[in-house]
């Protein structure tokens, strides 16, 4: 994603992040569908140079996805695979949202208003935990309590794993909505 030079560019970036999140969640749902194994059997992901005919021999890289099928066939691995995928989509969504807005705010000298935003501090804490070991750690920018939407992170939550705090991957939806509202109403 390129640096947004205008507020309109930033809003378009946020739309792309939102769309990618929705595609990721749809993919996780489809992978969990009973017919997923059948639909993916004998499927190969291939990268074909632009302009070349879509034929297997033109593929510059080909990735068979039998590994995914094998994991989907094993219930003990299937759930872990899908959960890991959802978490990666969640983490990427939060990271991309934070970075796009932060860079815009830095470049337009509006960082102060961003640092005071409830959604921003909540999202930073969750993204940081997801990026490292899943453990919530407050920092000098986000001191407890941190409240956003229906979640309240207290000092007593320090050191707890995110799974114990009840913050689901779907919390990206209110983050995305609030981030967009923030850009529309609080930024120049």
What pLDDT score does 34 carry?
82
Q: Is the peptide bond before 72 cis (omega within 30 degrees of 0)?
A: no
What pLDDT score does 153 carry?
97
Lookup: tokens for 4:
């947004």
Place 1 in a pLDDT band, splitting at 50, 70 and 90.
Answer: low
For 29-54, write each residue's pLDDT tens digit: 988 888 887 888 777 788 888 999 98
For 91-128, write each residue's pLDDT tens digit: 999 999 999 999 999 999 999 999 999 999 999 999 99
Q: What angle in degrees, to the nearest 10, is found between the helix axes of 118-131 and 172-186?
A: 140
């Amino acid at each position: 994603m390129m640096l947004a030079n205008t507020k309109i560019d930033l809003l378009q970036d946020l739309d792309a992040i939102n769309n990618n999140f929705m595609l990721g969640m749809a993919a996780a749902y489809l992978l969990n569908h009973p017919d997923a194994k059948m639909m993916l059997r004998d499927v190969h992901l291939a990268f074909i140079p632009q302009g070349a005919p879509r034929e297997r021999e033109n593929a510059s890289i080909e990735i068979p996805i039998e590994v995914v099928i094998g994991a989907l066939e094993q219930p003990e691995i299937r759930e872990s695979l899908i959960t890991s995928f959802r978490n990666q989509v969640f983490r990427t969504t939060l990271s991309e949202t934070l970075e796009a807005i932060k860079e815009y705010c830095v470049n337009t000298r509006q960082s102060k208003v961003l640092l005071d935003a409830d959604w921003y501090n909540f999202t930073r804490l969750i993204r940081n935990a997801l990026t490292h070991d899943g453990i919530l750690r407050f920092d000098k920018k986000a001191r407890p309590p941190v409240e956003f939407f229906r979640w309240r992170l207290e000092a007593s939550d320090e050191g707890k794993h995110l799974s114990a705090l009840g913050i689901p991957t779907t919390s990206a939806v209110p983050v995305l909505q609030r981030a967009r509202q923030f850009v529309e109403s609080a930024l120049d």
